A = this chain, B = another copy of it.
Amino acid sequence: MKIALAQMNYLIGDFEGNRQKILDAVSRAVREHANLVVFSELSVCGYPPLDLLEREDFIHDCGKSVSAIAGCIDPDVGVLLGSPEFNPGKQGKMLFNSAFFLRGGKVRQVFRKSLLPNYDIFDEYRYFEPNKTFRLLEFGGRRIAVTICEDLWDEQPFERSFSRSRLYTVNPLETLSRQQPDLVINLAASPYAHRKQEVKQSIFTRKAETYGLPVIYCNQAGAQTELIFEGGSMAVNSRGKVIRRLAFFREDFTVIDLEELESADPEPAAEPVPERMKMVSEALICGIRDYFQKLGFRHATLGLSGGIDSAVTLVLASRALGPENMHVLLMPSPYSSAHSVDDSIQLADNLGIRYSILPIDHLFRLFRETLQPLFGDLPEDTTEENIQARIRSILLMALSNKAGHILLNTSNKSETAVGYGTLYGDMSGGLSVLGDVYKTDVYELARSLNNPVEIIPRNILTKPPSAELKPDQKDMDSLPPYEILDGILEAYIERQLSPREVIALGYDKDLVIKIIRMVDQNEYKRYQTPPILRISSKAFGAGRRIPLAAKY
């Protein structure tokens, strides 16, 4: 039996476009003599459709699209694709998250998702009723256990056993295994998290080993606003070896011969997963590219400060969009150092990117004069720093508005966490590229991007970080070294440790309390940040919901 794995990048709600992709992949599978074609979870509409699922017309359009696809495909090929489905029962949530088996012009069988993730960025209980009945797909002489994404994640090890150890009361594959399947298929929409790749792979290899069954896993590829689906679909044989792996972060297609999958001896190994920083940069490039493409934009701008964050953002954006589609602004203030402008020019020239220099001294002066009747002789404070950041935002947004560019935000996760940024100033933008990358990882990313060819001038990597908003300002004047800061932040944000537990890791008590207070007090700023490309298991944004007005 030959199974085609069609790893696609869908646009949410674009029924015509998604249908065409699916039909093209089925045609190719038929040409390559596949018997069955597998697509990812909710492939008909794209994942995650969020509250579009609450619209009756949206669900009807999903149904129409499934029928249209069934009617167009070759009569001999079987197709497994994902779509929401009205709950035909008399009780419970309105929908099921389902996999449809199509053949001979019709929907032949439907498989429904049992384990509905409702944590972090997932809200599947908002829309879906969990499945409670289990049946195999019998096709081409095989008995197939069809599962949907989380259905295989009944026992995944999470770093904080506290919160997940006993989450699910059902084990779908255990139940299905009693019906003697020959094979497991998993339709998935599983987003990327840079420290979770091994865990994810082990889900599939362990299930294969435990049940002695091959596992075919088809994931969605491409970014949906902040979520980056990495693809990386796999075929795992019944001994738990990954024999085939599809591309990361882009569409891919392969046909797997089940006999070969099992018989190969010695087993051919799948391509190894690239190292972490290579994966992170691919993820972010994918995130930028798809955000622009899916919104119908081509051009980007950003403010190039001479610092590491805007430099890394620029390199990533240039790779995602092409240097010819970027126009950046250098906006020195009275406190900018000369090398900031020189380094920025060097970087833009290295990349072949158009830049303009718009000094902001005179605007800064005029704002201060305008505010003089209000402020009188009050001493300078962060107000004046914020004014500079906001002037730059006006200039960038003016270019963005006039020329149809999207402004890219260049804040990193460390400064976003502690509120080291100006709302409506450097926190502006249509998309935050590095908002889920800690400063220490921004440096690692820069070194990775500079290999093998130096693109980011060395000086940008070596000088001490500074916002340059007052004379001789350095980040380290008000923050601990980034290695320490990031360690504390990661423990508090990703691992959700209590202050006491963070201190127990060996950090200075007063410092931990100070940093955690900064994180908590800046929820209000993060409430208004742009969507942040998510590369970790806990990013700022929809997956992290902290009350603004609280005392804890």
Contacts and interface: CB of A to CB of B under 8 A. Distances in A.
A551 B546 CA distance: 30
A531 B548 contact: yes
A49 B531 contact: no
Interface residues of A, number: 94
Contacts of A12: 547, 549-552
A53 to B, nearest CB: 10
Interface string A527-552: 11111000000000010111111111
B424 A401 contact: no
A190 B162 CA distance: 29
**Residue with the highest number of chain B CB atoms closer than 10 Å, among A14, A295, A548:** A548
Given A387-B398, A530-B527, A363 B356 contact: no
Given A118-B125, A394-B394, A50 B546 contact: yes
A56 B164 CA distance: 12
Contacts of A374: 356, 358, 398-399, 402
A496 B319 CA distance: 40
A28 B12 CA distance: 56
Question: Which residue of A13, A294, A374, A550 has the most chain B CB atoms within 10 A of its CB atom?
Answer: A550
A525 to B, nearest CB: 10
A524 interface: yes
Contact of A542 (B13, B398, B529, B545): B545
Contacts of A370: 358, 360, 362-363, 395
B52 A398 contact: no
B398 A383 contact: yes
A398 B373 contact: no
Contacts of A57: 498-501
A398 B371 contact: yes
Given A91-B168, A168-B91, A370-B363, A294 B549 contact: yes
Contacts of A50: 545-547
B551 A17 contact: yes
A224 B549 contact: yes
Interface string A54-93: 1111100000000000000000000000000001011111
B371 A367 contact: no
Contacts of A401: 381-383, 386
Given A94-B162, A366-B366, A424 B550 contact: no
Contacts of A542: 545
B91 A169 contact: yes
A393 interface: yes
Interface string A366-384: 1100110111001001110
A24 B225 CA distance: 49
A390 interface: yes
Nearest to A396: B424
A365 to B, nearest CB: 9
Interface centre among A225, A362, A399 (most CB of B within 10 A): A225
A91 B165 CA distance: 8
A57 B224 CA distance: 34
Interface in A323-372: 356, 358, 360, 362-363, 366-367, 370-371
9 contacts: A51-B545, A55-B498, A56-B498, A90-B166, A94-B167, A224-B547, A363-B370, A386-B397, A386-B401
Listed from nearest, the 5 A-B pairs whose CB atoms lie closest are A13-B552, A57-B498, A294-B549, A12-B550, A125-B125
Interface of A: 11-14, 17, 46, 48-52, 54-58, 87, 89-94, 118-119, 123, 125-126, 162-163, 166-169, 223-225, 290-291, 294-295, 356, 358, 360, 362-363, 366-367, 370-371, 373-375, 378, 381-383, 386-387, 390-391, 393-395, 397-399, 401-402, 423-424, 428, 430, 496, 498-501, 524, 527-531, 542, 544-552
